[in-house]
Amino acid sequence: MLSLCASQWLVYGAGAKIIHQCQISVTASRFGGPGAGSQRQHYWWSAKDASHDGVKDVGNPDAKTQSPLVQYRRAQRRTINVPRRIYILGVGNIGGFVAHSLAGLPHRPPITLLLPSRGSVATWYEQGESLKLTTNGMLDTKSTFDVECIQRPRPAEEAQAVRARSDSIPQGLIDPQEEIIYNLIVSVKAFNTVDALRRIAHRLTRHSSILFIQNGMGIIEEVNDKVFPDPATRPQYMLGVISHGIYRTKRFTLVHSGYGTTALAILPRNIEDVKPDFESSALYLLRTMTRAPVLVAAGFPPTDLLQTQIEKLAVNAIINPITALMGCPNGDLLHQPSISRVIRLLLAEICLVIKSLPELQGVPNVKIRFDIKRLESQVIGVANKTAANRSSTLQDISRGNPTEIEYITGYIIRRGEEIGIQCVLNYMLKHMVLAKELLEREKHGSLLPLESRKLG
C-alpha cells in the first residue's frame, strides 16, 4: 500500500504546473549583509492556482466516477497553502547547483541562501551577488537571490518563544531571520548538519519540510537525536540522491562536469502508516524540484530511494577513501590490478552488511542488486565517468578540511556492528583516512585545540 501511495505523489509531483502566484506582502527591511538593497517579497502558493488534473473539470461529478488520483489531487487543492520561498542551507557544490537550477525556472520561487558567517556574506557580495555555473564551456550566471547570515544556536527557551511569537504574526511583518521556514533544502557537509540546523531550528515547525541532499548516511538519525527529538514537532523529511558531477573553481562558481539524475522521496513520519499524510510543503518542494530540467529529478517510493542511496554509498565507500589516500583523481583507480584486489576485498564486507540490513529484508532483488560483481562494475563505471574528477574526500583533505568519512565508510562499519558483522578492512581504511586528514589539517594550521572527533 505504501508503494501505491508513493506512486500517486510521484505522478502528482512530477506532472504539476505552477501557473499563478499571489504577492501578499512586501517589506522594505534590508538584510543579509552590506549592500543588500532589494526589497524582500513574500509569495504564497496554493494548488488552487495550478491546473494539473489532466482532465476537464465538468462541475462536480459523482466521486464514484473519479479516479483515485483525481480525487487525491482535488483534495490537495483544498488544503495546500504554503509560502513559495525556498531556503537553501549549504551553498557548496550540491547546494549551489540546486539553487542555480531552481533559479532558471519560469515563475521561479523566491530563493534564500543561508550563509554560515559574515565572511561568507562578504564573499557573496565580492563575487557579484550571483551563482555562476559552467556547462560544456558555457557560463550561465543567475542572480536575484536573497541571502541571510544564520547566527549561533539560540537557547531552548528563547527558541520556543520565537516560534510561538512567529506563529501569531503575519509573515510579512516578521524580521527575515525570524520567519518560519516551510521549504528547506539542506546540502551542508554531513558533519555540519546538526550545528547548522540548530541555528534555525526555532524557525522550523511540524508543517515545515526538510530535503536532505548530502553525501553519506546516518544523518537523519543524528538530527532526530540532537535537533528534533520530539516526533510531535518534527518537520517532514525528504531525501535526495544526486549523481551529477559538480566541482567548484572558487566560492559561488561551479562547473557541471557530468550529467546525472536526482532521485527524491518524501519519508513517511511513521513507517507503519498505510496511508502516509504528507505535508503540503513537501509536495510543493517535490513538485518544484521536478520542474527543473537541469536537475533531471523524479520522485520515488522511500524503499526505492533507500536502495539508490545505499548503492551510491557503497560506490563512495570505495572511491572516496582510496583516492584520498593515494591523492589521485578517480580515473587512476582503473586498470590497476592491485587496486582491483583491494576493491573486491572491501566490497566483500560492504555487500555482506548491505544484504543483512533489516530494512531491506523482503525487498525483491536485493541480493542481485548488491552482488559484489555488480557493485564492482558500478564502481568502475563511476570512476570511468568521472575519471578527471577528484572525490569530495580528496578535495576536503587537500584543503585541510574535515571529511565525511564517518558518514560513508563509518556508516557501513556501524551498521555492520549492529548486526554482528566486523568490517575489519573498512575499519582500517577509515582510520587511515582520518590519520591523513589530521596530518593535512595540521599542515594547513586548521586544527583547533578544542576541536575533537569521536572515534569508533
**Is pLDDT above 80 for 76?**
no
Give the pLDDT band (50/70/90) at residue 72: very low
pTM of the model: 0.78
How do residues 186-212 score in pLDDT, each as one tens digit?
Answer: 999 999 999 999 999 999 999 999 999
pLDDT digits (tens, 9 = 90+) for 168-188: 444 443 456 678 999 999 999
Task: Give the mean pLDDT of the chain.
Answer: 81
State the Cα angle at 192 between 190 and 196, rounded to 5°.
125
At residue 30 the predicted structure's pLDDT band, cuts being 50, 70 and 90, is: very low
Q: Which has the closest alpha carbon to 289: 220, 359, 240?
A: 240
Residue pair 84/43 in contact (Cβ under 8 Å)? The answer is: yes
Predicted confidence (pLDDT) at residue 95 exceeds the cutoff of 70:
yes
Residue 61's pLDDT band (cuts 50, 70, 90): very low
Q: What are residue 102's DSSP bridge partners?
A: none
Distance CA 426, CA 33 (A): 45
Residues 6+ apart with CB under 8 A from 373: none
pLDDT: which is higher, 414 or 448: 414
pLDDT, tens digit (0-9, with 9 covering 90-100), for 414-445: 999 999 999 999 999 999 999 999 998 888 77
The pLDDT assigned to 166 comes to: 46
pLDDT at res. 443: 82
Residue 155 pLDDT class (50, 70, 90 cuts): low
Percent of the chain with pLDDT over 90: 64
Which whole number is the average pLDDT over 32-43? 42
User: Are 274 and 1 within 8 A, CB to CB?
Assistant: yes
What pLDDT is recorded for position 25?
31
Rounded to the nearest 10 degrees, what angle do helices 2-14 and 302-326 cross at?
80
pLDDT of residue 82: 83
Residue 266 φ then ψ, to 5°: -95, 125
Tell me what the mean pLDDT of segment 375-385 comes to: 94
pLDDT greater than 60 at residue 120: yes
The residue-averaged pLDDT of 322-346 equals 94
pLDDT at position 156, please? 53
Cα angle, residue 312 at apex, residues 308 and 318 outer, rounded to 5°: 150
Per-residue pLDDT reduced to its tens digit, 276-289 = 789 999 999 999 99
Q: Cell 489531487 sits at which residue? A: 73
Q: Which amino acid is at 181?
A: I
Average pLDDT over every residue of 325-347: 94
For 60, the 3-state DSSP assignment is: coil
Q: Beta-strand (E) ranges in 110-161?
A: 111-115, 131-135, 138-142, 146-149
pLDDT of residue 360: 95
Q: How confident is the model at residue 348 (pLDDT cuts 50, 70, 90)?
A: very high
Mean pLDDT in residue range 135-146: 94
Across the range 92-119, mean pLDDT stands at 94
Q: Which three cell numbers stand for residue 343?
A: 576493491
- Calculate what percentage of the chain has a pLDDT beyond 70: 73
CB burial class (10 A; 0-12, 13-18, 19+) of residue 296?
A: middle
What pLDDT, on the 0 to 100 scale, is given for residue 24?
29
Confidence label for 242 from pLDDT (cuts 50, 70 and 90): very high
